[in-house]
Structure 1
Amino acid sequence: MYSNYKIEVHINFLLGKNYLNRINFLRKIIVSYKKISKNLDIFIHINKKLLNKYKIKDVNYILHNLSLEDPYLLSWKSRKLIYEQKDIYDVFIYSEDDILFTKNNFDYWINFKDICIKNNFNLGFIRVEKNNNKIYSIDVTTQLNKYLIINNNRFIVNDINPYCAFWIYDRQELNKFINSNIWNFNWRNEFSYGVREMSAIGWHGLKMTRYKDTLIPLAKSNKKKYIVNLDSLIYHLTGNYYSVHKLEGKKSRINNLVDENQLKYNNTYKNYYFFKLKFKNNYYIYLMSNFFKKIKKFLII
């Protein structure tokens, strides 16, 4: 289906005090990526030299000197190279160093991304951790309760928190992203994300203007209740959000993430809000142009 696609993966690997413990996670992540395609290249961005014995084979390591900068700015250093590669690859992935992305995740993205993009939505993923054989959502801990049907596919709307510490775009979307006001590290901090999180949210954060919202396709569980498509789950290997699981309890369990009493998504209102946000100061011009298109046939010129 995508054997001819050229895929690139950029991973941000900050060498801090405990980086040796994280290398095992990184190895597992690399093995998983290599199962997706033979036409896949991996670039790991580091802030300090890494001894050869810790390096992973067939991976490109790129060293960035951050001695005079905030170490968290490492998360932005890959963008220069991604920009240079924008016409070389077909699929672009950026990720933190503890996110397990699988072939099933990639197939899910291939299957649903176009229908979402065509309707100005982002296809979402849910970042999860496993604890005591139970799967917990760590970014969305409130039930999702709005649904939308597109081409006979039922989606739940994640308008709570679409963050999942990685992003994936095809070439067309990436080039639009590059030309947006979000691509470079020169934005005002109006999105409530930190430095690393702002890089890892990509172009689908709350209050951003590319997508109306983030959608996740629904499936039915054995108990005939709606759950998110399980191929949308990406695992956070560090597993350090256990306190969230204890605090939220059953509410953050993946089987309870979708509210059974869903409300139909108000697409008409969202279109209004989306275009208002997108055009901002030019919104009046947009409204007037749309108005004149509608009344043009009644005008005598």
Structure 2
Amino acid sequence: MLAVTESPLRILAAVTFHFRESRLQYLFQVLRSLCEYPVEALDVVIITNTDQDEAVELIRDLSAPLFRSLPARSKSTKTLSIESFPKLANPWLLPWSHKHLVSERFLSAGSAYTHFIYVEDDILLSFQNFCYFTHYREILKERRLIPSFQRIEYNDADNRLYLVDQVGVADLNSRNRVDLDGYAFVNLDYPFNAMFILDRELALEYVETPSFDRERSKLVRPEWDVACRAAMGLCFESPPEGFLTRYVSPVDPSTLSAPSWSWVYHLPNNYAKDRLKPFAKTRVDQQFGSELDVVCWRPASKLVEYLALMRGKKRFNGPQSSL
């Protein structure tokens, strides 16, 4: 068997999982992707709302095979633990339940971790995504910018990829940019990722900011709901002059599209064909197009919208977590 060299990285990852059996398939894929990282150590903590023995065992039994050692990477260690928070006043508070892992474990005295990952249970974060982040994090840090991602979905109605959080087209030339390796790194109009990555320097900064605190984060982004604010990391904390946020994403000026290594896959593909919501209606190759009619979403009729609201659906008022 071909031996694979591990990267000298030690990662602590938190995955938020609001228990529903139908979503176990997404959790499995998220964990499998993380477990494929060729790193020295990976410790994954599943943050869930259930403490029922049967449900916890179901999660553990599904996940455990992914954490068994591989002879070709015998020096790599991977562990799984589950933390339950069954008595939250509001189920949407679950995404905030991982914060102690940053301050008390990742940043603890003697900690050997190099990176912290927070991700929702349906966001596929590949090792290629991680390598993109670590590479451009070092280059962009002197500018106080952070490399970011875009969620994508696949629409089997037309077999195309769509940007979940880009609601409409944008003008590339109207925004400040940093040019690196043939890419223009720019702010996106809708910088929600449903995840974030921290190195130790970013984590030390993060725990001191309002964005780290559930209540104070309202002052940072009042229009975002409580679950989305839990995933915004340092996005809005003191961006440099000329930029609206710290998060910047690469765009190829020759194709006006983002490279695939900056995409994270939203596994359910539930927005692409939901005509009541504007999410995932902008194709990945049309984000910075000049024609407004490239976006195929139009608001539903008042009757359709009313019926949807009666079924408990929400109007669009910002990014949405899918937990």
Q: Where on the TM-score scale, by shorter chain, does this alignment land: which range?
A: 0.7 to 0.9
> How far did residue 152 of structure 1 move?
5.3
TM-superposed CA distance for 1:45, in Å, is 0.7
Contact 1:129 1:239 in 2 (8 A): yes
Match of 1:54?
59
In the alignment, residue 258 of structure 1 is paired with which amino acid? F
Aligned with 1:228: secondary structure?
coil
Q: Deviations over 1:92-126 (max 9, x none)?
A: 11111110000111111122112222211121100
The CA distance in 1 between the partners of 2:217 and 2:144, in whole Å, is 24
Structure 2 counterpart of 1:241: 271
Is contact 1:66–1:74 with CA below 8 Å preserved after alignment? no
Q: What's the counterpart of residue 91 of structure 1? A: 115
Tell me the distance in 2 between the aligned counterparts of 1:95 and 1:171: 17
For structure 1, which runs of at least 5 residues remain unmatched after alignment? 262-301
Deviation at 1:4, TM superposition (A): 1.3
The answer to whether the Cα contact below 8 Å between 2:167 and 2:280 also exists between their aligned partners in 1 is no
- Structure 2 stretches lacking a partner, 5+ long: 68-79, 292-323
Question: AA paired with 1:141?
Answer: V
How high is the TM-score relative to the length of structure 1? 0.76
Cα offset, 1:156, TM superposition? 4.1
The question of whether the paired residues in 2 share the 8 Å contact of 1:90 and 1:170 is answered with yes
Query: Following the alignment from structure 1 to structure 2, what is the Cα–Cα distance between the partners of residues 129 and 4?
Result: 32
Q: 1:100 is matched with which residue? A: 124
Given the alignment of the two structures, is residue 39 of structure 1 paired with residue 29 of structure 2, yes or no? no
Report the count of equivalent residues: 252
Match of 1:4 in 2: 8
Question: Is 1:163 the equivalent of 2:192?
Answer: yes
Equivalent position to 1:110, from 131, 134, 158: 134
**How far apart, in 1, do the equivalents of 2:131 and 2:290 lie?**
27
RMSD of aligned residue pairs (Cα, Å): 2.6
CA contact (8 A) 2:166 2:279 kept: no
Asked whether the 8 Å contact 2:211–2:217 carries over to 1, the reply is: no
Question: 1:254 corresponds to which residue?
Answer: 284
Structure 2: distance between partners of 1:47 and 1:238:
20
Distance of aligned partners of 1:245 and 1:134 in 2 relative to their CA distance in 1, 3 Å threshold: farther
1:55-108 Cα shifts (integer Å, max 9, x gaps): 2114210112325x1111111111112211233211111111110000111111
Percent of aligned pairs with the same amino acid: 22
Distance 1:154 1:73, change over 3 A: same
- Higher mean alpha-carbon deviation, 104-113 vs 139-148, is at 139-148
Aligned to 1:232: 262
CA deviations 1:15-66 (Å, max 9, x no partner) are: 2xxx101111111111100111241111001111224133211421011232
Q: For residue 77 of structure 1, what is the amino acid of its counterpart?
A: S
Contact 1:218-1:228 within 8 A present in 2 as well: yes
**Residue 147 (structure 1) shift:** 5.3
Question: Which one of the candidate residues 46, 50, 66 is aligned to 2:87?
Answer: 66
Partner of 1:174: 203
Task: For 1:108 and 1:44, locate their aligned partners in 2 and report how far apart those are by CA, in whole Å.
Answer: 24
The DSSP-based 3-state class of the residue aligned with 1:176 is helix
Structure 2 counterpart of 1:200, from 199, 207, 231? 231
The worse-fitting range, judged by mean Cα deviation, of 114-123 and 90-99 is 114-123
Runs of 4+ in 1 over 4 A off after TM superposition: 243-251
Whose helix fraction is larger, Structure 1's or Structure 2's?
1
For 1:267, the equivalent position in structure 2 comes to none
Partner amino acid, structure 1, of 2:270: N
From the superposition, tell whether residues 143 and 171 of structure 1 become closer, same or farther in structure 2 (CA, over 3 Å): same
Cα 1:70–1:246, aligned 2, differ >3 Å: closer, same or farther?
Answer: closer
Residue matched to 2:27? 26
Distance 1:78 1:130 in 2: 29
Tell me the distance in 2 between the aligned counterparts of 1:121 and 1:7.
22
User: TM-score under structure 2 normalisation?
Assistant: 0.71
Query: Match for residue 142 of structure 1?
Result: 168
Give deviations 1:109-151, integer Å, cap 9, x for gaps. 1221122222111211000101122110010123332352345
Which whole-Å CA distance do the structure 2 matches of 1:64 and 1:184 have between them? 18
**Structure 1 residues 171-226: Cα deviation after superposition (integer angstroms, max 9, x where no partner):** 11011111112212221624111111000111204xx4256432222337xxx523
**CA 1:198–1:249 in 2, change beyond 3 Å: closer, same or farther?**
closer
